[in-house]
A and B are shown apart, each in its own frame.
Chain A
Amino acid sequence: ETGVTQTPRHLVMGMTNKKSLKCEQHLGHNAMYWYKQSAKKPLELMFVYNFKEQTENNSVPSRFSPECPNSSHLFLHLHTLQPEDSALYLCASSQDTWTDIGTGELFFGEGSRLTVL
């Protein structure tokens, strides 16, 4: 496995379900991110972890709960979601958040397409 891997690729859940999205990076990076991508909207940063510590929470509702057990793995736990939470959830990694952003290089996974019924 190389790069950033996300599972599952597709997920359908009811509003009362609990599910989790998983992300794993094989790049030796220290920073990991969750982004939300909705149709006709910009990529929306949700959470940032640097060396396993959460450094950014972009005012995300508590029904989304991130977990970063180590620098290679990132989870997004989902609970009591709303239909408007249906979107593509992208995980990304970078060397760390202190690296000169001039390279701007985030490495993205292929995303988990979430549908909330």
Chain B
Amino acid sequence: QKEVEQDPGPLSVPEGAIVSLNCTYSNSAFQYFMWYRQYSRKGPELLMYTYSSGNKEDGRFTAQVDKSSKYISLFIRDSQPSDSATYLCAMSPYSNTGFQKLVFGTGTRLLVSP
């Protein structure tokens, strides 16, 4: 079983739709949860991060973590063609001894059509 599972898509939606992107994980030690966005022919860039459970909102983006279900989500409201990209979830356990290895999902490719 992979530590992090993510549907590769592609997920195609019309402009203005609400998008839900999800990841499940198996390691209950994960405490930090991130979403990276990767445009075609570019490197990933951090979009949002959350610690432990709960919601975090930033503009049109909301990140949600449900540790009891080992499930994280990224919601995009009023999606735009410029949101078309691959979205990678990433997570890590807490460590006070130094390096904390990020575990990535495979990424979900999102296509928003005008």
With A102-B51, A108-B43 as given contacts, are A45 and B32 in contact (CB-CB < 8 Å)? no
* Bound form: Cα–Cα A15–B34 in Å: 37
Q: Of the candidates A50, A56, A92, A103, which one forms a contact with B101 in the assembled complex, judged by CB atoms under 8 Å apart?
A: A56
Interface residues of B in 50-70 (CB under 8 A from A): 51
With A55-B99, A102-B49 as given contacts, are A43 and B104 in contact (CB-CB < 8 Å)? yes
Whether B41 and A101, one on each chain, are in contact in the complex, defined by CB atoms closer than 8 angstroms, is no
List residues of A whose CB falls within 8 A of some B CB.
Answer: 4, 40-43, 45, 48, 50, 55-56, 90, 92, 97-98, 101-111
Whether A45 and B102, one on each chain, are in contact in the complex, defined by CB atoms closer than 8 angstroms, is yes
Q: Does B88 contact A (CB under 8 A)?
A: yes
Whether B106 and A104, one on each chain, are in contact in the complex, defined by CB atoms closer than 8 angstroms, is no
* Bound form: Cα–Cα A40–B100 in Å: 24
* Bound form: Cα–Cα A38–B8 in Å: 13
With A4-B43, A109-B43, A110-B42 as given contacts, are A42 and B51 in contact (CB-CB < 8 Å)? no
Residues from chain A with a CB closer than 8 A to the CB of B46 are 103-106
Residues from chain A with a CB closer than 8 A to the CB of B95 are 101
* Bound form: Cα–Cα A104–B93 in Å: 11
* Bound form: Cα–Cα A56–B100 in Å: 11
Residues from chain B with a CB closer than 8 A to the CB of A97 are 98-100
B contacts with A, residue count (CB < 8 A): 28
| A48, closest chain B residue (CB) | B99
With A40-B106, A41-B106, A42-B4 as given contacts, are A101 and B45 in contact (CB-CB < 8 Å)? no
Minimum CB–CB distance for B5 against chain A, Å: 10
Contact with A along B74-114 (1 / 0, CB 8 A): 00000000000000101010110011111111110000000
Whether A92 and B4, one on each chain, are in contact in the complex, defined by CB atoms closer than 8 angstroms, is no
Given A104-B34, A105-B49, A108-B43, 8 more contacts at CB 8 Å? A42-B103, A43-B90, A50-B99, A56-B99, A101-B94, A102-B49, A102-B51, A111-B43
Whether B43 and A90, one on each chain, are in contact in the complex, defined by CB atoms closer than 8 angstroms, is yes
* Bound form: Cα–Cα A109–B44 in Å: 8
Residues from chain B with a CB closer than 8 A to the CB of A101 are 32, 92, 94-95, 100, 102
